[in-house]
Amino acid sequence: MMKRREFVSHATKMGCAYAVATTLPRWAWAAAPTETPHYFVLVRTFGGMDVTLGLDPQILVPGADEKDMFVEYRPDEITETGGLRLAPAAKSLATHAADCLIVNGVMMRRDAGHEVNSAYMISGRGDAKAASVPGELSLARGEGPFGIMSSSGVYSAGKPISVSSTQDLLVQAEGENLPNWVEERLEFLAVEKGTPLELAEQQLVNGKEIALAAQKMVEGFKKEGQTVDARHAIAAALSVGGSRHAQLDLSASLDTHSNHATTHLQAQTQIWEGVAGLFWLFKRIPCGEGSLFDHTTFMVASEWSRTPYLNAAKGKDHNPFTNSVLFAGKGIRKGMVVGKSRLVTRKQTGTLADHIAAPWNYREQAIAQGPQGASFIYPENLVRTLGEIFGNPEGFHPVPSSVPFVAPILK
């Protein structure tokens, strides 16, 4: 079993450099590690984002009208910067565009309900045999004493994954009781001797020093005048070596089956402003030879998009036939868009219009130009690609290795 002193040394190597920064007080930083980890943050939204308002802006094709696709902005309101095209809801990402990559035309196969499609998007499977990406990475790459730092529950698929609440961290840091809280978590663990969880138990006991560092960091944010939230808790946990993987859920009223116009735009704008704030925060925190952002891979995803036209209640319903995902940070090819979607008009279908993913050819690693070799970009392909980004660590196999990855995403 790892001794207290050994684990504290190991944890120091796990964490970021707190070396003197111009953006935070000198006292907030600890010693620089000898090796900087590769972090992962999943940002999950729930309700289904209309991608035409965010990552996949649209202009009506010739012969199409509002009954085919309702678009509530002018073409000149689309922001083109850093290799990306952003619809009005996502314009707050413009300052980070050169550090991001968009995948459009992600096929979700079918509408199996919010929970199932969300699990499919973040695990690459719809059969409950794999945890979400943070969970699978945690199992394969190890955890800090906080486990996965999350603003809500983490989809575990029944696997033994340790999770800490961002709210708990902030509350306990406020009361200066965070180190004691870490130790008290032991009371809720049923640990068998000789198992991997026994080591996790010891890590919790020995994590009090890390908890003190996280507490100081939260205090530093407050002294700067920032209103701390789950994003700050995640940044603190990763920076001090408490966690290596995190999940942030951003909530807004996205499921607009009625009154879609303006309402969904406002809600989705709130989501992307939250993402932009997360990136801004991570870029201000020194880590290794760069920032915490430079050492973190981000994935932002929802369970599906929305139908292109307005229904009888002036809303947009679920559309599982296209989706968009944002990647940012380490390991990705930045400032570009991979994949695309297309509008199939009422005239072409003979009934309602469709907004669907364009086929993808994995042999050519490009948009399919014909039926031969044509497939789609599915969630499992994106999860498989994340495996490549993290070097396919032993034990990380939420989807089979035979599943092709999307090569243009990789740096």
Neighbours of 3 (CB within 10 A): 10
Query: Lowest mean pLDDT: which of 72-76, 218-222, 372-376?
Result: 218-222
| pLDDT, greater one: 17 or 243 | 243
Mean per-residue pLDDT for 373-390?
Answer: 98
pLDDT band at 36 (very low <50, low <70, confident <90, very high): confident
CB 346 within 8 A of CB 70: no
pLDDT at 10 over 60: no
pLDDT at 183 over 90: no
Predicted pLDDT of residue 173: 77
pLDDT at 132 over 80: yes
Both structure tokens of 286: 């020194």
pLDDT band at 181 (very low <50, low <70, confident <90, very high): low
Note the pLDDT tens digit of each residue in 392-409: 999 999 999 999 999 999
Give the DSSP H/E element, type plus range, for residue 375: strand 374-375
CB 255 within 8 A of CB 268: no
pLDDT band at 206 (very low <50, low <70, confident <90, very high): low
Note the pLDDT tens digit of each residue in 221-276: 999 999 999 999 999 999 999 999 999 999 999 999 999 999 999 999 999 999 99
Report the distance separating Cα 349 and Cα 45, nearest Å: 31
Predicted pLDDT of residue 21: 30
Predicted pLDDT of residue 145: 81
The residue ranges of every structural domain in the chain are 38-142+244-409
* Four-way CATH pick for 38-142+244-409: 3.30.479, 3.90.226, 3.40.720, 1.10.10: 3.40.720
pLDDT at 144 over 90: no
Query: Lowest mean pLDDT: which of 167-176, 180-189, 230-239, 398-407?
Result: 180-189
Give the DSSP H/E element, type plus range, for residue 173: helix 166-174
Report the distance separating Cα 382 and Cα 202, nearest Å: 35
Note the pLDDT tens digit of each residue in 304-328: 999 999 999 999 999 999 999 999 9
Report the distance separating Cα 217 and Cα 241, nearest Å: 12
Both structure tokens of 325: 């995902």
CB 253 within 8 A of CB 267: yes
Predicted pLDDT of residue 92: 98
Task: Tell me the pLDDT of the chain averaged across its residues.
Answer: 87
pLDDT band at 32 (very low <50, low <70, confident <90, very high): very low
pLDDT band at 184 (very low <50, low <70, confident <90, very high): low
Report the distance separating Cα 83 and Cα 269, nearest Å: 20
pLDDT band at 197 (very low <50, low <70, confident <90, very high): very low
Report the distance separating Cα 104 and Cα 52, nearest Å: 10
pLDDT at 18 over 50: no
Fill in the amino acid letter for 191.
Answer: V
